[in-house]
Amino acid sequence: AQSVTQPDIHITVSEGASLELRCNYSYGATPYLFWYVQSPGQGLQLLLKYFSGDTLVQGIKGFEAEFKRSQSSFNLRKPSVHWSDAAEYFCAFTSNDYKLSFGAGTTVTVRA
């Protein structure tokens, strides 16, 4: 079955420290992969996406993600976290039917 898993429910990181959020997918072919961010009371904002090509993808707000086929992963990273990065982050994938399947999300708390 096609699915996406985010192993970490909650991560706490200090402001200025690096952040890495994990995402693993299960799919027979190469999926289209996305990271979305949801701030409290807001909708989902697209951070970045991977369809093909360069496996290191740059997104908005200083985020990047790396597609690793051998590990079925698409982890999100940011070198230096700001307090405004506190939010919930969702990994999602779709196959060629363009129906998004989301992970359960990872909540990021930023401490001063």
Contact positions vs another protein (CB under 8 A): 32, 34, 36, 41-46, 49, 51, 90, 92, 94, 98-100, 102-105
Q: Considering beta carbons, is residue 78 or 93 the nearer one to another protein?
A: 93
Q: Report the nearest approach of another protein to the CB of residue 68 (Å).
A: 21
Q: Which string of DSSP letters, residue by residue, matches 31-66?
A: PEEEEEEE-TT--EEEEEEE-SS-SEEE-GGG-EEE
Decide whether 46 or 60 has the Cβ nearer to another protein.
Answer: 46
Neighbouring residues of 111: CB distance < 8 A, sequence distance ≥ 6? 12, 13, 14, 15
Q: Minimal distance in Å, beta carbon 28 to another protein?
A: 19
CB of 36 to another protein, least distance (A): 7
Residue 71, helix vs strand vs coil: helix
> Which residue's CB is nearer to another protein, number 85 or number 94?
94
Q: Which of 97, 107, 101 is nearest to 34 (CA)?
A: 101
